[in-house]
A and B are shown apart, each in its own frame.
Chain A
Amino acid sequence: MLKEEYLFFDVDVRTKEEALNFISQKALELGLTDNAEGLKKDFLKREEEFSTGLQDGFAIPHAKSDFAKKLGVFYVRCKSSISGWETMDDRAVTDLFALIVPKESADNEHLMMISRLATGLLEEEFKETVKTASHKGELMGYLKRIIINEEGI
Chain B
Amino acid sequence: MKIVGISACPAGLAHTPMAAKALEKAGMALGHDIKMEQQGSMGQINAITEKEAKEADLVIIASDQKITGMERFAGKKVIRVDINICIKAPEAVIKKCVDAVSKE
Contact = CB atoms under 8 A, between A and B. Distances in A.
B42 A108 contact: yes
Given A54-B87, A55-B88, A111-B41, A49 B17 contact: no
Contact of A101 (B13, B15, B17, B87): B13
- Number of chain B interface residues as a range: 10 to 19
B11 A122 contact: no
Interface in A94-153: 99, 101, 106, 108, 111-112, 114-116, 118-119, 121-122, 152
Which of B14, B16, B17 is packed against the most chain A CB atoms within 10 Å? B14
A122 B25 contact: yes
B42 A119 contact: no
B29 to A, nearest CB: 13
A111 B84 contact: no
**Taking chain B's interface residues, is the majority helix, strand, or loop, or is none over half, making it mixed?**
helix
A2 interface: no
A99 B14 CA distance: 9
Contacts of A118: 13-15, 17-18
Interface residues of A, number: 26
**Taking chain A's interface residues, is the majority helix, strand, or loop, or is none over half, making it mixed?**
mixed
B14 A60 contact: yes
Contact of B42 (A62, A111, A122): A111
B41 A106 contact: yes
A116 B10 CA distance: 18
A122 B18 contact: yes
B13 A121 contact: no
